[in-house]
Copies of this chain bind each other. A is one copy, B any other.
Amino acid sequence: MDDIKIILSETEIPTHWYNVAADLPTPLPPPLGPDGQPIGPDALAAIFPEALIEQEMSQERWIPIPEPVRDIYRLWRPSPMFRARRLEQALATPARIFYKYEGGSPAGSHKPNTAVAQAYYNQQEGIRRLTTETGAGQWGSSIALAGAMFGLTVRVYMVRVSYQQKPFRRSMMETWGAEVFSSPSEMTQSGRDALARDPETPGSLGLAISEAVEDAASRADSHYALGSVLNHVVLHQTVIGLEARAQFKKIGLFPDVVIACCGGGSNFGGTAFPFLMDKAAGRAIRLVAVEPDSCPTLTKGRYCYDSGDTACLTPLMPMYTLGHNFMPPGIHAGGLRYHGDSPLVSHLYHQGLLEAVAVPQLATFKAGVLFAQTEGILPAPESNHAIRVAIDEALQCKESGEPKTILFTLSGHGHFDMAAYDRYFAGKLEDYSYPEAEIAASLAELRAV
């Protein structure tokens, strides 16, 4: 069968998400409250709907996708999987390179896979308003879109430096009807405190999370929505990997290696987790998370209990972290600048079921440009990280002569990221070195899992 473009029919949009929690070798360590004790569902009820808290804690392997969510998914799902034949030829590799393209959603990335589900469950439980944070703007756009689809008001706290530098992302959210405020703002205690400490602060994702959580917790009609890290978020993203598995089945192939970029972990987990079922069944498959070497959470962080935000409003989560005060340099893959990582990804990585690799910024842009010139689709800087490692794997195949099958997820298009490409072509982009000794000292204070 021709394998340039592998598409599924509408009826093959997954009917269930895959919950990897059902298949863990050892249970996931629980999140902890401020008192150091495991927290229960109640602790999350102020900011999340019951259905999502259930999913967060669930041990069920398959969780049904509600029909109204699948209906919205149909705007861009099933997403296509392509064979990158022109890239293979340019590399002169015997490897087969496939990519799963998530940039066809209205927001241009994989993020709506969970945003739509979160908006739906909140609306079902009578919530009228969602708050969230956004850095580069991908998540804020996605929740703005999802809110519009289900009639919810959305307020986005946008990291100040992005708010100033990315007015177009802000306009996009406003077009979908969301309110967007620069964070830190005067609207929350966390924001006012931060402004009092430093009126000129550029803001940070951790701080914007603090603001959004505080806002949601203070109003009965409001909940909070998170774009990555948590179990239910990664769960929703498993539509990516589930579809990819079905697509490989159609062409009678199976990947030797599966690659995705990893910030908070939902894109990587959503891509890789479904393939763990195959790995458990004895198939040889490598699952590789790619992170920037300037924010090397899995490759240089420590597996600890740490807070998800700067103000320590979230529970303590068992995860690889660089410390909640770590301020990553301003690299252009904004979606990969998070100090921590999904507890599920962290747990499975700690157990040796997943791999991770960190790559420098310039090399990722070089890979992205080669991909655009051979395959046509212009990738987001985050996705360039996955492309870099896919190319490196393919080049190794060229040396070894092995015709490996490589899959990576192209998590989004780069149409909002041309300023980054502009700086790359102008020679203004740099590789950053990570302050290893400094971080090691701050990590020593955290409690190990």
What per-residue 1/0 map shows which CB atoms of A272-290 lie under 8 Å from chain B? Answer: 0000000000000000000
B residues near A148, Cβ cutoff 8 Å: 372-374, 376
A378 touches B75 (CB 8 A): no
Say how far A164's CB is from chain B's closest CB, in angstroms.
13
Interface: A328 (CB within 8 A):
no
The answer to the question of A377 belonging to the interface, with a C-beta cut-off of 8 Å to chain B, is: yes
A172 in complex: contacting residue of B172, B175, B418, CB < 8 Å: B418
Within 8 A of B (CB), among A145-181: 145, 148-149, 167-172, 174-177
Contact of A4 with B by CB under 8 A: yes
A43 to B111, CA, bound (A): 52
- Inside 8 A of A368's CB, which chain B residues have their CB? 175
**Are B425 and A376 neighbours in the complex by a CB distance under 8 Å?**
no
Q: A82-B75, A171-B425 are in contact. Are A106 and B10 (CB under 8 A)?
A: no
The interface centre, meaning the residue of A4, A177, A415, A422 with most chain B CB atoms within 10 A of its CB, is A415
* Contacting pair B377 A106 (CB below 8 A): yes
- Report the Cα distance A409→B171, complex, angstroms: 24
Which DSSP category, helix, strand, loop or mixed, fits chain A's interface? Answer: helix
Report chain B residues within 8 Å CB of A375: 75
**Which residues of B have CB within 8 Å of A172?**
378, 415, 418, 421
Residues from chain B with Cβ under 8 Å of A14 in the complex = none
Closest to A177 in B: B373
Candidate in A4, A75, A104, A108 with the most chain B CB atoms within 10 angstroms: A75
How far apart are the CA atoms of A236 and B175 in the complex, in Å? 33
Contact B168 A418 (CB under 8 A): yes
Most buried by B among A72, A108, A168, A174: A168
Which residues of the other chain, B, contact A75 by a CB distance below 8 angstroms?
A: 5, 82, 375-377
Q: Which residues of B contact A413 (CB under 8 A)?
A: 106, 415
Cα separation A176 to B171 with both chains bound (whole Å): 27
What residues of chain A have their CB less than 8 Å away from a CB belonging to chain B? 4-5, 7, 10, 71-72, 74-75, 82, 86, 104, 106, 108, 145, 148-149, 167-172, 174-177, 368-369, 372-378, 413-416, 418-419, 421-422, 425
26 contacts between A and B (CB under 8 A): A5-B74, A7-B10, A72-B376, A75-B375, A75-B376, A86-B149, A108-B415, A145-B376, A148-B373, A148-B374, A167-B419, A168-B418, A169-B418, A171-B418, A171-B421, A171-B422, A171-B425, A174-B425, A175-B368, A175-B372, A175-B373, A175-B414, A175-B421, A175-B425, A177-B373, A415-B415
